[in-house]
């Protein structure tokens, strides 16, 4: 199995206008097959080591990646005290959609087909955004809360993969229910045996990265660009 490194070499800092200005890290390998936009989970940021490690694997597989903060620094401070913004899925989805629009306006990325990788509550934001952006060609959820996407699940048509830890009991049920509600013709759920919610067990995150790379290789690299 390929080892994931923690390096993020080759990335550059970007600022994304989304009603507010959001910090991001953009990495574009030569001859990129597409771009994967990451939506981090509650209480996290673009500096999530788990997302950075998955992104490094995708970059090694030929995909560009964008990791960005869904909240500003001031919002993070307020959310740390109240916890209210991390569950504002409509707002987070709007910001993810704005980042997608921003990529489509940039000379280096406008021709790249887009996919989403969402974790925890970020997965709900990714699904809501995918429901409103038909140009998004594939979605992967890691330990996600797709139940928080509510009625938008029925509007998601992009191929969607739900990855859940085998020891993440309640979240397994949430994902099983969401899988049945997705309208995507291509959808799947994979349970990683022995993994908990954060996939901290040896080899668990590597499995997530390989599953994500395979999904994006099949459904993003070879997707037809939406008109």
Burial class (CB in 10 A: 0-12, 13-18, 19+), 144: buried
> What is the average pLDDT value for the chain, to the nearest integer?
88
Among all chains, which residue has been given the structure tokens 């590597």?
A: 206
How confident is the model over 50-73, as pLDDT tens digits? 888 999 999 999 999 999 988 888
The H-or-E segment that residue 121 falls in is helix 121-132
> What is the pLDDT at residue 216?
98
**For the CA atoms of the chain, what is the radius of gyration?**
16
CATH topology of domain 16-219: Rossmann fold (3.40.50)
Those residues of the chain that have pLDDT short of 70 are: 1-9, 42-45, 79-86, 223-227
**8: helix, coil or strand?**
coil
Q: Determine the pLDDT at residue 98.
A: 95
């Amino acid at each position: 199995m390929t080892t994931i490194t923690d390096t993020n070499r080759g990335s550059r800092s970007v600022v994304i206008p989304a009603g507010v200005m959001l910090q991001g890290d953009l990495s574009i390998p030569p001859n990129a097959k597409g771009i994967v936009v990451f939506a981090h989970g509650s209480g996290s940021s673009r500096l999530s080591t788990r997302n950075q490690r998955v992104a490094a694997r995708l970059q090694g597989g030929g995909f560009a990646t964008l990791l960005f903060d869904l909240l500003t620094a001031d919002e993070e401070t307020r959310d740390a005290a109240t916890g209210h913004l991390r569950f504002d899925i409509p707002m987070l989805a709007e910001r993810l959609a704005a980042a997608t629009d921003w990529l489509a306006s940039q000379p280096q990325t406008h021709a790249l087909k887009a996919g989403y990788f969402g974790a925890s509550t970020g997965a709900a934001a990714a699904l809501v955004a995918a429901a409103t952006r038909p140009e998004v060609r594939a979605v992967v959820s890691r330990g996600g809360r797709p139940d928080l996407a509510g009625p938008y699940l029925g509007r998601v048509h992009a191929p969607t993969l739900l990855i859940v830890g085998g020891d993440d009991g309640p979240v397994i049920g949430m994902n099983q229910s969401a899988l049945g509600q997705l309208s995507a013709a291509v959808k799947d759920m994979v349970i990683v045996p022995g993994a908990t919610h954060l996939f901290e067990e040896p080899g668990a995150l590597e499995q997530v990265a390989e599953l994500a790379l395979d999904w994006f290789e099949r459904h993003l690299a070879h997707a037809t660009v939406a008109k």
